[in-house]
Structure formats: C-alpha cells, structure tokens
Amino acid sequence: MSDLPPLSRRALLTSAATAAFAALPATGAHGRTPAASRTSARRATVAARTADGFAGVPALGLSGTTGGAGGPVVTVTDPDTFLDYCDRNEPYVIQVAGTLRISSKQGLRSNKTVVGLGTDAEITGGGLDMYRRQNVIIQNLRFTGADDDALSIQQSSHHIWIDHCTFSAGADGLIDIVRGADCVTVSWNHFHDHSKTMLIGHSDANGAQDRGKLRISFHHNFFDGTAQRHPRVRFGEPVHVYNNYYRNNTLYGVASTEDAGVLVEGNYFEDVPHPIYSGYDESGPGRVVERNNVYVRCGTPETLGTVIEPRTFYPYVLDAPADLPALVTAGAGAGRI
C-alpha cells in the first residue's frame, strides 16, 4: 500500500489552488530585463483557470498545483536559456516564444510553469523529465518529434498539470506517468500522429511502488487517430477518464490492467473498435467501470468490478457527451487559451 498520506476531502472543501501567475518583471538569462521580455510579460498567456482533478487536490503537503506562481516571469527564445531556467531550484514562470529544439529528456525542476506564448510555441526533438518533482504546470505548447518520451512524470513526482498542449510524432510515449507518480491532471490536450499515447505504470512488476498512487484525471482531451494507450493503466486507482473525445483509434481506447481502478465516464467514442479493455497483452485484468459514454461505430466495452469514486476526492461537472466532438475539437490543444 501507499506510504503517502490520503487525500483530504475536508481540505478540498476549504482550500483551492490558484494557477494565476505573478505579475513580476521578466528577466533575461543574465538577470537583465530586455524591453522585448517586458513586453512579452505584459501579453503573457496567463491562465486564470485553476488546476482541477487530482492536480487540484490538497495532498502530500500541497494545497494544489500552482507551478511557478510567485516567481519571476521570464521569456525564452533559445534552448540553452530555456534549459537553464528549467534546471533552477527557484519558482519561475517560463514563457516559451517560438520553436525550441532540444534532445533526449531534459530535467524540469519543481515549482515551475512552462507556458507557450501565442499559438506557435513549440518544443521539438526532445522532451521534459520530471523526476521526484512537484508543483509543475505545462501549458499551451506543441511537443513534436521527441526522440524519447515527450513528457515523463516519474519517481513519486506529484501535483503536475498538463493542459492545452498538442502532442505528436514521438519516438516512444507522448506522456508517461510511472513509478509512483501521483496527483496529475491531463486536460484539454490534442494527441495526433502517434501510436503509444500515454502509459500509466511502467511494468507489471512494479505494483509495490505504484499501488495507492498513480491517481490521475484525464478530461477534455482529443485522441485524434492515435492508435492506443488513451491511457493504458497499471495499478493506479482511481484513474478518472471523463469528457474526452476519441476518434479513429485503431487498436483501443482505454486499457485497465493489473488491478488498476479506472472510471470511464461521459466520453465520446467514434470508430474505435475496442473502446475499453480490462487486461491487455500480457498484463492481467484491471477493474473498470463505464457509464454515460457515447459509442458510434464501436465495439463493445469491457468492464470489471468496482472502482473508488473520484468524487471521494474532488467535485466535477460533466459536459454532455453528445457535445464533445464540437466542444473538444474547438478547445483542445495549444493556441486555444
């Protein structure tokens, strides 16, 4: 079982996380404040929205996910400066302008907001790795052509919010959440031109580290022709998959394995031959409850057992599943906030 303290419903009702960024002057790589950075700070994509789902829940010493709020706002236009800020210990709001080409998986430390400016901010060639990190927001960015995972959240990292990003064409997973990570929300993202989209729990042999953790919310994501793992889950409970739009997913939608507990509700599945699996490949069956989903030209979903209700931890309101094709395609992905 988990050695982490349980999430507190009482704290949830009395405390709310804020994702608003501090209105502090932007600084350059060497502490200067160039005019271009000051202008960028004034027109920054500031998210008035608050982290919701599991990323917004008070737990593990945090009241929610606030990222770099309270730290300096900096604008970066080259990969070296970007990675320098990512590797600092202090809180920062790191605004990405244009395309940054990196390689491999680069470390991103705690208490950071990484947010794209405008509609064309992009990280290509590599990805970001959160290893024993906490309180991170990644927003309004395109991730393309990573030579490994685009985003890796691992080794007990917690309170991570991935929101309004676009992911495509990576060499491995687009998002991996593994090895005891916890309290993560993946919301309003667009996934396309890829096979293995999202893995929750890295192996069948890692139950000792993962049971009682890997509590994750997925909502309002657009799984657009991606083949599988939307997500594939081992051990985590509850994993809450709601109000997502699945279209033309050639292998399957959601797979619950190795006694994971997954609630799949209020989603829209279109032309998905296997919308929900319990067990997959060599992994044993997981528990999965489905309700209030729409299936258009799909196979029969598999269900098994019962799952801890996400409402035990946070409140939420479902959008009507029939509205999701229009709502999600209009709002998901980079450049939509």
User: Catalytic site residues?
Assistant: 229
Cα-flanking dihedrals φ and ψ of residue 305, to 5°? Answer: 70, -155
Q: How far apart are the first and last CA of the chain?
A: 39
CA-closest candidate to residue 135, choices 108, 167, 175, 95: 108
How far apart CA 143 and CA 99 sit, in angstroms, is 10
Q: Which two tokens stand for residue 268?
A: 């829209």
- The partner residues of 256 in beta bridges, in order of sequence, read 233, 278
How far apart CA 67 and CA 142 sit, in angstroms, is 19
SS (H, E, C) 17-65: CCCCCCCCCCCCCCCCCCHHHHHHHHCCCCCCCCCCHHHHCCECCECCC
How far apart CA 65 and CA 58 sit, in angstroms, is 9
Task: Show Cβ contacts of residue 212 under 8 Å, excluding neighbours closer than 6 positions.
Answer: 1, 2, 4, 237
φ/ψ bin of 155: left (φ > 0), alpha (ψ from -120 to 50), beta (otherwise): left
